[in-house]
């Protein structure tokens, strides 16, 4: 707020945060972070993203060096989650996410709080190969998405807490 007046940025951030809270607020109360990294340029002493059993490759082909936060989580039942956040305040980004394994299943949280297999129609491109599943889509400034992931690779890899 400038001079105690709410600016357009204040209203924009309020909308993004309300949407996130409505869709994911109660979920994050049940999750424990396992790793937080940054694509391209680490911030605040954070670590640069490296591939693992959840995500094998991340690309921002039209925006080299675009800042992305990658959060990884686990719940009490052992389900694994990944969250991607566009850290740029002004620019959208086309983000390609590669998930390793031929049997990857991706779940999204619906408005009723339940997870269902499949991805939203807003995800523009999908492709499954013998070794991976790829999703590519736009993220607006400050926008994030959260997926629950499952595969034989994820299930057989022990959870590590990397801070």
Sequential pLDDT tens for the chain (163 residues): 567 889 988 888 888 788 888 888 889 999 999 999 999 889 888 999 999 999 999 999 999 999 999 999 999 999 999 999 999 989 999 999 999 998 999 998 877 778 888 776 555 567 778 888 888 888 988 888 899 999 999 999 999 998 7
| Boundaries of every domain in the chain | 31-156
Q: What is the pLDDT of residue 77?
A: 93
Under 8 Å between Cβ of 49 and 94: no
- Compute the Cα dihedral for 82, 88, 92, 93 and give only its sign: negative
Q: What is the pLDDT of residue 118?
A: 79
Provide the whole-model pTM. 0.86
- Give the other-Cβ count within 10 Å of 93's Cβ: 22
> Which CATH class name applies to 31-156?
mainly beta
Q: Identify any residues that bridge with 107 across adjacent strands, giving them in sequence order.
A: 117, 148
Q: What is the pLDDT of residue 73?
A: 97
Any residues with CB less than 8 A from the CB of 97 and at least 6 apart, and which? 55, 57, 58, 84, 134, 135, 136
């Amino acid at each position: 707020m400038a001079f105690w007046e709410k600016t357009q940025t204040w209203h924009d951030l309020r909308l993004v945060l309300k949407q996130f809270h409505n869709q994911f607020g109660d979920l994050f109360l049940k999750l424990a972070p396992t790793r937080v990294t940054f694509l391209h340029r680490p911030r605040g002493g954070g670590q640069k993203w490296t591939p693992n059993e959840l995500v094998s490759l991340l690309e921002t082909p039209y925006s080299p060096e675009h800042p992305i936060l990658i959060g990884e989580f686990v719940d009490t039942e052992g389900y694994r989650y990944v969250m991607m956040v566009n850290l740029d305040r002004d620019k959208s980004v086309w983000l390609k996410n590669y998930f390793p394994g031929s049997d990857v299943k991706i779940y999204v949280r619906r408005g009723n709080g339940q997870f269902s297999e499949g991805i939203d129609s807003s995800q523009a491109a999908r492709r499954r190969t013998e070794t991976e599943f790829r999703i590519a889509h736009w993220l607006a400034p400050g926008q994030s998405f959260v997926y629950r992931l499952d595969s034989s690779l994820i299930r057989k890899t022990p959870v590590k807490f990397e801070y």
